[in-house]
């Protein structure tokens, strides 16, 4: 049995994206020095939204790129199936820029560790700041987000689903709880 609870609906989703964009601009005193990088797959679409929101409020086009972290994962070995390798596509020089790294859910922190290493191999940014849509806790590495859409405390057997039009056809955030039938609650 699993129960699905809606945490953020489509309207709330857009508001949260806008707030994240405002916070990023405020914290960096403008958007001129920024570069934005989304982690594939959903981080890419979120990053695109945030870049659009910054363009609307500040009138600045922030250079945008996507990062595939597959080659930097710490669990490549000993898997039964290999993850599909996708392409990193960052067409601007990240050196000297304040890079906003965007992902949908912050969980163990391992993805972000991989992304930091991958970014460092592409250049030397002035700084890297982390923006995530949902922080669900359970960190396994000392990593903290600079900008958080929403903190949702979860248990390990729950699942957070960030739905986006590009990948899922709808927008919102769901909390999925798996309860084992007949198991001890």
Residues that bind other proteins (CB under 8 A): 68, 71-72, 76-89, 117, 121-123
User: Among all chains, which residue has been given the structure tokens 């939204």?
Assistant: 49
In the bound state with other proteins, the residue whose beta carbon lies nearer, of 1 and 80, is: 80
Q: Considering the complex, what minimum distance in angstroms separates the CB of residue 166 from other proteins?
A: 20
Q: Considering the complex, what minimum distance in angstroms separates the CB of residue 82 from other proteins?
A: 5
User: Among all chains, which residue has been given the structure tokens 């906003």?
Assistant: 100
Q: Considering the complex, what minimum distance in angstroms separates the CB of residue 177 from other proteins?
A: 29
Tokens of 5: 């609870």
- The 3-state DSSP class for residue 92 equals coil
In the bound state with other proteins, the residue whose beta carbon lies nearer, of 29 and 77, is: 77
| Separation between Cα atoms, residue 120 and residue 158, nearest integer Å | 33
Q: Considering the complex, what minimum distance in angstroms separates the CB of residue 175 from other proteins?
A: 29
CA dihedral angle for residue 15, residue 178, residue 4, residue 130, rounded to 10 degrees: 10
In the bound state with other proteins, the residue whose beta carbon lies nearer, of 27 and 71, is: 71
Contact, 65 vs 48, CB < 8 A? no
In the bound state with other proteins, the residue whose beta carbon lies nearer, of 26 and 121, is: 121
């Amino acid at each position: 049995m699993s129960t699905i609870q809606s945490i953020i609906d489509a309207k709330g989703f857009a508001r949260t994206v806008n707030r994240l964009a405002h916070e990023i601009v405020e914290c960096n005193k403008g958007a001129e020095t920024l570069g934005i990088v989304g982690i594939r797959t959903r981080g890419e679409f979120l990053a695109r939204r945030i870049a659009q929101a910054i363009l609307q409020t500040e009138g600045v086009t922030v250079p945008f790129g996507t990062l595939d972290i597959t080659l930097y994962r710490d669990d490549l070995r000993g898997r039964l199936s290999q993850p599909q390798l996708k392409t990193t596509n960052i067409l601007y020089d990240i050196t000297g820029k304040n890079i906003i790294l965007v992902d949908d859910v912050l969980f163990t922190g391992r993805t972000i560790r991989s992304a930091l290493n991958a970014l460092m191999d592409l250049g030397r940014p002035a700084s890297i700041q982390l923006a995530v849509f949902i922080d669900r806790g359970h960190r396994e590495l000392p990593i903290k987000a600079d900008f958080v859409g929403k903190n949702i405390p979860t248990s390990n057997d729950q699942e957070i689903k960030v739905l986006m039009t590009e990948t899922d056809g709808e927008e919102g955030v769901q909390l999925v709880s798996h309860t084992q039938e007949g198991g001890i609650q």
